Amino acid sequence: MRISILLLFILTTFQIQAQNGIDFFHGTWEEALAEAKAQDKLIFVDAYAVWCGPCKRMAKNVFTNDEVGGFYNKNFINMKIDMEKTMGRKFGKKYPVSAFPTLMYIDAKGEMVHKVKGAQKVEGFIKLGKFALGKVDNSKDFAEAYEKGDRSPDLVYNYVKALNKAGKPSLNIANEYVRSQKDLTTKENLKFLLEAATEADSRIFDLMVENKSAIEKLTSKEEVKNKIEQACLKTATKAVEFQSADLHKEAVSKMKKHYPEKADQFVVQSEMKFCLACGDDKKYLKACAKYAKKDAKGDPKKLNSLAETIAQNFPKDEKALKQAEKYAKQATEKGSEFTYFYTYANLLLQNGKKDKALEVANKSLAMAKGNRGNESRIKRLISMIEKS
């Protein structure tokens, strides 16, 4: 059970970090379509209205999330469109909406790929984006030619790129191509190595970093760093899935060697996930302490999320619950969201501090005033505390 919970946690948190959430595109719809074509990306559209409460909450709590920003900035051209202004009314003639927010995923040709009504939370929003990406699978356009024997650099590059975008395995095809090449330093092959290096525990990754300087001249240092981080994250995720100490060690080692600027953050987060998967509770909680002290320090969202994760995985461990309570309290000291106080109240109750739990829960209720769904949830907690 713990493994399945953890894998869900990894899928939603093991993303490349962003600084300020989603970076929205500011331009016309026609310019967004052109940018999507140039970058070979889908367009994500948040169709909203200024008076819409769920729209405001999503803008405040979801679009600003680091993991959301990392995923959406990498994979989409992102737009916010006020459907009651001139641009929105024009946009709505082709893409009508009946509720706010409506979340749309549209390709560079202007065709709707996926559309969902209603606000999402962080985890659901990332899963929604992955689902939309999965619906656009162009690999079949190249598979037939490849099976017929076409091994031209352009065909294989586009085939591997399409497989990667669709989330399908591409290393076998990439390795076959690399083995057939006598000179990997041509522009075409350097570009190929960058695209094909999807996992740190692969020969292609090693070839990519061996040729890093030449690839940086063709692209940029930032693009190569992003690829290194993505590949190490992929290997670290595999290490958790298969509980492989060797894979975990390799991911950490290659991140330290090839992207030292971000290695400390990577090591702590990957250590947390790996130790939790392997049931090494002591090392996991120790890694959590490092994460709270460095990466999550001063960030109430991260502290609150950490407290919730510990509580979910160690509901009967007194030491772990006390540690989670500490982080939940820090979240309430750094931020004023009612959810932080709700988490803190829950942990106080679990740790037998009834009076303090009731005080904090009532504060959460006052902060959530007007939000019916959450008011009901907090009232149930208050009732539970009073009956305990």
pLDDT tens for each residue of 243-267: 999 999 999 999 999 999 999 989 9
The residue count of the chain comes to 388
Helix, strand or coil, per DSSP, at residue 96: coil
By mean pLDDT, which of 122-126, 194-198, 330-334, 341-345 is the weakest? 122-126
Cβ 170 vs Cβ 164: under 8 Å: yes
Structure confidence at residue 203 (pLDDT): 97
Q: What is the pLDDT of residues 141-185, one digit of tens each?
A: 899 999 999 999 999 999 999 999 888 899 999 999 999 999 999
**Structure confidence by residue, pLDDT tens digits, 33-47:** 999 999 989 999 999
Q: What is the model's pLDDT at position 20?
A: 63
For the cut 70, the answer to whether the pLDDT of residue 3 exceeds it is no
Given pLDDT bands bounded at 50, 70 and 90, which one contains residue 13?
very low
pLDDT at residue number 7 = 41
Q: Which two tokens stand for residue 327?
A: 């982080």
**Whole-structure pTM over 0.95, yes or no?**
no
- Give mean pLDDT, residues 294-306: 91
Q: What's the CATH code, domain 296-388?
A: 1.25.40
Q: Which CATH superfamily is domain 2-135 in?
A: Glutaredoxin (3.40.30.10)
Query: What are the tokens at 310?
Result: 């510990």
The mean pLDDT value for 119-140 works out to 90
Cβ partners under 8 Å of residue 172, min gap 6: none
Is residue 162 exposed (0-12), middle (13-18) or buried (19+ Cβ within 10 Å)? buried
CA distance 357 to 116: 37
- Checking if the pLDDT of 14 tops 70, the result is no
3-state SS, residue 43: strand
* Per-residue confidence (pLDDT) for residue 335, from 0 to 100: 93
Q: What is the pLDDT of residue 66?
A: 79
Mean pLDDT, range 337-342, rounded to an integer: 94
Kindly state the average pLDDT of the residues 79-102: 96
Task: Report domain extents, the chain.
Answer: 2-135, 181-292, 296-388
